[in-house]
Structure 1
Amino acid sequence: MKVVQKTQQTATEKYHSWPARLARKLVLSKMRVIAIGHLVIEDEAESFQFGQPPEQAKVCAHIKVLDGSAYVQVLLNGTIGSGEAYMQGSWTSPNLLNVIRLMVDNMDLIEDMDGRWSRLPRMALRSLHQLNSNNRKGSRRNIAAHYDLGNEFFQLFLDKTMLYSSAVFSSAQTPLYDASVHKMEHICRKLQLQPSDHLLEIGAGWGAMAIFAAKHYGCRVTTATISEKQYEYVRRWIEREGLQDKVSVLLQDYRDLRGSYDKLVSIEMVEAVGHEYHRKFFSTCSHLLKEDGLMVMQAITIQDQRYQQYRKEVDFIQRYIFPGGCLPSNQIVAHHVATATDMQIVDLEDITAHYARTIDHWRHAFLIHASKVKALGFDEQFIRMWEFYLCYCEGGFMQRVISAAQFVFAKPRFLGSF
C-alpha cells in the first residue's frame, strides 16, 4: 500500500468523530487484499494506492471519498453500504464501472467487506428480504416496485422495442435497436415458430416479443404480465397494430395460467420467481406445453459454486432494485427441469458478452437523459442509485460473475432436430 499525504492535517484532525476514524482505518486495511487491478482511494487527508502497479493492471479504478461517513457505511453494511454511500454522494469516481469491475475481480475483498463487522445489519436485511416473498400477492408488489416506475421512465433509456433484456448483437457496430430485433428473431428461430402455433409468453414486458412473433410468423400469441402499467401499454400497442385477433394479453400470475400451447417463451422473468418457487415455475411451464412443444427461456444466472450462499444473502440489487429477486444458476435450472418436468435441455447458448454491451447502451442513454429523469419527479439520489445498479450489472457481466443464457427445453414428443 502506497500512501500520499495531501494536506497538513492528519486523518485524526480531519475526521473528528472516532467512529469515522476507526472505520477509515479498518476499511483501508481491508483493501490490502486487492491482488488484481490498481485502486486509488483519495480522501481529504491522504491518497492510498492498492493492488498492482498501474502499468501492469488491466483495470485501474479511482475512488474519491467526499464524506467520512462513507467509511462507516462500508464497514457496517459492506457492499450494500458502499452502494448506499454512493447514492448519498459520500463518494464518487471518474469511472464507476471500473470500480465495480475491480471489486468483483477481488472476491476475497467482497467477502471480507460482507464479513464480521456487517453481520448484524445483514441479518436484519435478510429478515426484511423474507417479507418480499413471491407468493401471488408478494409477486405483484415486488414487480410493481420496479416495473411500475412509469413507462415514460423506461422509454428514456431503452430502445424503440422497449425490450428490457439482453439484446443479441451481430457485430460490434450493430445499433441497440437492431440487436434487439435480432434477439427476437433469434428466439423465434429457436422456437421453430409456425403460423399454426399458439405461443405462450410468460412475462410480457412491454409487448415487443409477442407482437414481433405475431407479425413476422403469423402465429397466435398469449402473453401474460402482473404489472398493471405494462399490461395497459401492451393492450394499447396490440390495438394500434390491429392484432386483437392474433395477440391476447393477460394480467395474470404464471401460476394461474391455463391451457395447452405449442410453444412457450419466457425472457428474463425467472429471476423474479424466487428460490422457493423455481420448481413450481418449471413445473407450470411444462404442464402448459403440449407433448411435442418447445420452450425458450432467456435468463440471468449466477455461478453454480456461489448459488447456495447467494440465495441466503441480500445484495444491492435485491435491496434497492428488484425486491424478491433471485438469480438461478445453470445447475439449479437443470435440477428443476430434470426433477419437476418431463422436458429436456436441448440447447444452451451463452450471451453474457451481449448483455454487457446492452447495459452499456442503457447506462449511457440513462445518464444523457438524467435531467429528464428528474423532470419525471425522481431526485439525484435515485439517479445515483440507478447509475450504481447499471454499473453493478455491467461490471458483473464483463467480469463474468453473473452470466446470461438462452435455454431451449423440449417436451418428450418433440421429434425435430435442433
Structure 2
Amino acid sequence: MTRPALQTVPTTVPPQPAAPAETATHAVDPDRWPDVARVPRGPLRAAVAERLLRRVARRRGLRVEMPDGSLLVPAPADAPVLRLHRPEAFLHRVGATGLIGFGESYQAGDWDAPDLVGLLTVLATAPETIVPTGAQWLRRLYVQRPPAEELGTADNARRNIHHHYDLSNDLFALFLDRTMTYSSALFPEDPDGTVTAAWDGLPEAQHRKIDRLLDLAAVGPGSRVLEIGTGWGELALRAAARGATVVSLTLSEEQLHLARRRIADAGLADRAEVRLCDYRAVEGEYDAVVSVEMIEAVGRPFWPVYFRTIDRVLAPGGRVAIQAITMPHDRMIASSNTYTWILKYIFPGGLIPSVRAIDQTTARHTALRVTGAHGFGPHYAETLRLWRERFTERAAPVGALGFDQVFRRTWELYLAYSEAGFRTGYLDVQQLLLTREEDAR
C-alpha cells in the first residue's frame, strides 16, 4: 500500500536555496556503510515517525522544511531548521531504528540543518519528553541492545579502541591543536563565569586542564605515575617534565607510535614509557594514577575491575585523578543497555558514567572514595565548538586522506551532537580526586 504524500503547509518565508548536490545526494558505499546505504521499509512505523515528528516540531518550535520549501507544521521564521531532502527515507529510517535512524539519515544526506548545533540543542533538552509518556512502549519497536562483540572484554577492547583512535593520526592532527589533546580543555572564565575560548588559546587551555589534574594527583619530582589512556602523550610529557617517572597505557597502535616519538623528541624517554597494554594487565606500584576520559570506554560491567585495578597498584598514601564525561544518574540507567548511534558509529562498547555510579562502584569494590570533584561542562562545549569548526573548515584535507563524504558527515554530527549535550547540561565533564579511606585518617 502506498502512503499518501506528507501533508504540509505553505511557508510565508521564501524557500531557502537547495543544499549542494553532494550534500543531498552523495553516493554511499554499501560495503563500507551498509546501514546508511539501505533504506528500511515499514509504512506503519514511518507513519508513527511522521506523527512524532509533527509533535516534536510543534512542542519544540522546530521549522521542518520540505524539499519544495513548504513546512511540515506552521513555525516562526527564526525557529531552528530541520531541512528534509528525502522525507520518505527519513521517516522510514527513524521509524525503523529511532535515533540510530535519525543519525543514519543525516549520514546519507536525507536532511540538513543550517545550524546543526542549534537544532540538536533543542532536541537534546529534556530528551525523555520527546516521546509522550503514554507512548513509551513504542521504544520496543526500535531500541536495540549493544552487540556482545562490542562488550569491553580484554579481547574486544583493543578492537573497540582501534575503531576510533586508529583511524589516522593525520586525521586527528587536522582538527586538534598542536598538543594533540583529545579531551576537554579548561579555558579562562570572565568574572560572570562566561568561558572565553578561541583557537589560539586552545593549547594553553589544554595545558591548564592537564596541570590541574596533575596537581590534583600531587605529581611532582620523583612521583611514580601511571596513566591509563595515553592519547598522543601530552599528559605524559607534562608529568615527566615535572620530574615524575611515567608509565602510560594505550591500546591504540597509532597513538603508541606517535606518543613515543613525541616523548623521545622532547628528550624525556628516560622518564616516560608508553606501553601497548590493557589496564587490567598493569603491574607495579604508583604514587599517582591519572586517567583522562578513558572510563567512558570501559563499559559498565567492567567498572568494578577498572577501579579494583587502580586500587591494587596505588601505593599507600597515593592519589587518583580522573577526568570523566558524566551524565545524570537516571539518564545513565535509562541508556545503560541501549545501542545508540554514538556506540554504533563512534565509540563502540562504552557508557558514560554518572558521578553517583562512580561513588557506588568504588564503595562496593574498593577502598577508594571520591573526595573531590570539579565540573566544567561549558568548557567542553567550547572545546567541541573549536574542533567542529576546524574539522568542517578542513573538509578537503579530510577527504584527501581517503575519508568519504559519509564519514565527514558522521563526524560533523558526532561533534555537533556532543557539543549540544554539554550546552544543555545533559552531559558534564568532571575532574575527580579519589583517595583511600584509611589514608584520610
Q: Same fold (TM over 0.5)?
A: yes
How far has the Cα of 1:349 moved from its partner?
A: 0.6
- Per-residue CA deviations over 1:163-183 (Å, capped at 9, x if unaligned) read 111111113145211110111
Indicate how the Cα distance of structure 1 residues 296 and 117 shifts in structure 2: closer, same or farther if over 3 A, else same: same
- 2:389 maps to which of 358, 364, 367: 364
Residues 162-311 of structure 1: matches in 2 within 5 Å? 162-171=180-189, 172-173=196-197, 175-215=201-241, 217-311=242-336
C-alpha change, 1:71 and 1:240, in structure 2 (3 Å) is same
SS of residue in 2 equivalent to 1:265: strand
- Aligned residue type for 1:122: V
The alpha-carbon distance between structure 1 residues 106 and 344, as it changes in their structure 2 partners (threshold 3 A), is closer
Determine the structure 2 residue equivalent to 1:70. 90
Measured at CA, do residues 331 and 35 of structure 1 come closer, stay the same or move farther in structure 2, by a change above 3 Å? farther
Match of 2:159 in 1: 141
User: Are 1:26 and 2:51 an aligned pair?
Assistant: no
1:20 deviates by: 8.3
- The answer to whether the 8 Å contact 1:150/1:229 transfers is yes
Is the contact made by 1:294 and 1:414 (CA closer than 8 Å) also made in structure 2? no
Alpha-carbon shift at residue 194 of structure 1 (Å): 2.0
Out of 141, 150, 154, the position equivalent to 2:172 is 154
Deviations along 1:365-415, whole A, 9 cap, x unmatched? Answer: 000111111000011011001011111110011001111111000124545
SS of equivalent residue, structure 2 residue 147: helix
What is the distance in 1 between the residues matched to 2:280 and 2:132?
40
* SS in structure 2 of the partner of residue 47 of structure 1: coil
C-alpha distance in structure 2 between counterparts of 1:204 and 1:378, whole Å? 25
- Give, in whole Å, the separation in 2 of the partners of 1:230 and 1:285: 22
Match of 1:406 in 2: 431
1:108-163: CA deviation from partner (whole Å, max 9, x where unpaired): 4544699555634433xx2x522201111100000000000010000011111111
Summarize the Cα distance change of 1:406–1:160 in structure 2 as closer, same or farther, 3 Å threshold.
same
- Equivalent residue of 2:378, what SS? helix
Given candidates 67, 82, 97, the residue that maps to 1:44 is 67
Q: Which amino acid aligns with 1:4?
A: V
Residue 104 of structure 1: which of 124, 149, 171 is its match? Answer: 124
**Partner of 2:38 in structure 1?**
none
Residue 278 to residue 40, structure 1, CA distance change in 2 (3 Å): same
Q: How far 1:338 moved relative to its partner?
A: 0.9
Distance 1:196 1:270 in 2: 26
Residue 366 of structure 2 aligns with an amino acid whose one-letter code is: T
Q: 1:141 to 1:23 in 2, by over 3 A?
A: same
- Of 371-380 and 37-46, more deviation after overlay is shown by 37-46
Return closer, same or farther for 1:62/1:228 CA change in 2, 3 Å cut-off.
Answer: same
Tell me whether 160-169 or 98-107 shows the greater mean CA deviation.
98-107
Match of 1:5 in 2: 10
How far does the alpha carbon of each residue in 1:165-223 deviate from its partner, in whole angstroms, 9 at most, with x for none? 111111314521111011111112111222021111000110000001111x1111111
Contact 1:66 1:90 in 2 (8 A): yes
Unmatched runs of 5 consecutive residues or more in structure 2:
1-6, 13-40, 190-195
One-letter amino acid matched to 1:47: L
In structure 2, how many angstroms separate the alpha carbons of the residues matched to 1:210 and 1:414?
A: 26
- Partners of 2:42 and 2:367 lie apart in 1 by 57
From 103, 119, 122, the equivalent of 1:83 is 103
Residues 295 and 324 in structure 2, CA contact (< 8 A), matched pair in contact too? yes
1:6–1:44 CA contact under 8 A, matched in 2:
no
SS in 1 for 2:175: coil
Q: Which moved more, 1:107-116 or 1:96-105?
A: 107-116
Distance 1:109 1:23, change over 3 A: farther
Deviates more, 1:303-312 or 1:260-269: 303-312
Stretch moving more, 307-316 or 381-390: 307-316
Q: Distance in 1 between matches of 2:141 and 2:62?
A: 28
Tell me the residue number matched to 2:36: none
Secondary structure of residue in 1 paired with 2:434: strand
Give the whole-Å Cα distance in 2 for the aligned partners of 1:218 and 1:118.
54
CA distance in 2 between partners of 1:91 and 1:33 (Å): 16
TM-align CA RMSD: 2.5
Normalised to the residue count of structure 1, the TM-score between the two structures is: 0.89
TM-score when scaled to structure 2?
A: 0.84
Distance 2:264 2:67 in 1: 59
Cα-to-partner distance string for 1:274-300 (whole Å, 9 max, x where unaligned) = 111001101111111011000000001
- Work out whether residues 200 and 265 of structure 1, in 8 Å CA contact, stay in contact via their aligned partners in 2: yes
**Larger fraction in strand:** 1
Partner secondary structure for residue 323 of structure 2: strand
Q: Name the SS for the 1:210 alignment partner.
A: helix
Give per-residue Cα distances to partners, 1:26-52, cap 9 Å, x unaligned. Answer: 33421325676420111135303478x
Contact 2:288–2:320 (Cα < 8 Å) also in 1: yes
The one-character-per-residue Cα deviations of 1:35-92 (angstroms, maximum 9, x if unpaired) are 76420111135303478x678xxxx310111012111111211111111000000111
Identity %: 33
1 CA distance for matches of 2:235 and 2:59? Answer: 41
> 2-side partners of 1:24 and 1:330: how far apart?
38
Q: Which residue of 2 aligns with 1:12?
A: none
Contact (CA 8 Å) 1:76, 1:118: kept in 2 or not? no
Q: Counterpart of 1:159 in structure 2: which amino acid?
A: D
What secondary structure, in the 3-state scheme, does the structure 2 residue paired with 1:313 have?
coil
